[in-house]
Amino acid sequence: MSLQNMTSMLQRAQKNGYAVGAFNIVDYNSMRAVIDAAEELRAPVIVQTSVKTVLFWGYEAVMSWMTQLTQQAAIPVAIHVDHCTDIEVIKRCIDAGWTSVMIDASAKPFAENIRLTRQVLDMTASCGVSVEAELGAIVGVEDDIHVKAQEAHLADPDQAAQFCHELQLDCFAPAVGTAHGVYKGEPKIAYDLIKEIAARTGVPLALHGGTGLSDAVFRKCIGLGCAKVNISTQLKYAHIDGFVNYHQENKVYNPLKPLAAQYNALKAAVAENIKLFGGAGQA
Ligand code: 13P
């Protein structure tokens, strides 16, 4: 078990109607909280790193935490770089031991998106690293990618079918109406589009912009074929609030105390999502 790519965990999830939670971590404490929560619930899990996080700590540091934390783990864990637009960074991640990568060339013209995604698939073909790619434009801010509401557009179903026909993806992220960050108002999810893309591609779908969606929305999207659900913003809040709230209440200048409170807040948020996505007991 333990450290692996996300191919078989997503295929199993797709077949059995649940989703694997993919949680963006920012440091050792958040990585530990994600893996411990999944371990306690016996759930497969995807640890996601933004490019900024990787560059902040360095490839080797992040991978050394991962290796140490998964050595004893009895569950399947993947380490995945999220929304990467830079092929050089993808190469460095693969060399450092990442088991999964997302090439995000969705801002490029369709043919260029296919070409760059194919380049990444060629790089990973011999090393067993799984690949996710995106089509359409998901509104909001994720890492250094900013998409304004007027620039956002859903994935075109014919292009989605062609994209997945030409590329052997492990996971496909079509824009379906969700948003990165905090929702302003009720999200308009294109359920029919999810259904059509799932049917026409057969590829496990990634639902981006998980923070703030209702339980009912998650259940519906997962039932239609979303086998990977991304959660980032909710964990950023748990990270900061877990630390700050403890300090404000206790005013103790022992950093290990608020760090423990931060860990507990992160772990609780991850556990809640894993249970909601149906991943508990699936490892
Ligand atoms: P949120 O920040 O909205 O949870 O989205 C996460 C995401 O999709 C990361 O790629």
User: Where do the structural domains in the chain lie, given as residue ranges?
Assistant: 7-236+272-277
Say if residue 144's pLDDT is above 80.
no
| Type and span of the H or E element at 89 | helix 87-96
Per DSSP (E only), the strands in 33-179 are 45-49, 76-84, 100-103, 130-135, 140-142, 145-147, 171-174
Interval between CA 235 and ligand 1 midpoint (Å): 10
Measured from the Cα of 211, ligand 1's closest atom is 4
Q: How high is the pLDDT of residue 147?
A: 75
Tell me the pLDDT tens digit for each residue of 231-255: 999 999 999 999 999 999 999 999 9
DSSP state of 84: E
Indicate the top mutation candidate among 142, 143, 272, 273 to test ligand 1's pocket, ranked by most ligand atoms within 8 A of CB: 142
Contact predicate 105/133, CB 8 Å: yes
Overall average pLDDT of the 137-158 stretch: 81
Q: Which residues contact 214 (CB under 8 A, 6 or more apart)?
A: none
Active site residue 82: yes
Q: Is 130 exposed, middle or buried (0-12, 13-18, 19+ CB in 10 A)?
A: buried
Lowest mean pLDDT, pick from 57-71, 99-113, 175-189: 175-189
Overall average pLDDT of the 6-26 stretch: 98
Instruction: Give the pTM.
Output: 0.96
Give the whole-number percent of the chain exceeding pLDDT 70: 99
Overall average pLDDT of the 263-281 stretch: 98
3-state secondary structure of 160: helix
Overall average pLDDT of the 137-155 stretch: 79
CATH: 3.90.1300.10, 3.20.20.70, 3.90.1150.10, 3.30.110.40. Which one for 7-236+272-277? 3.20.20.70
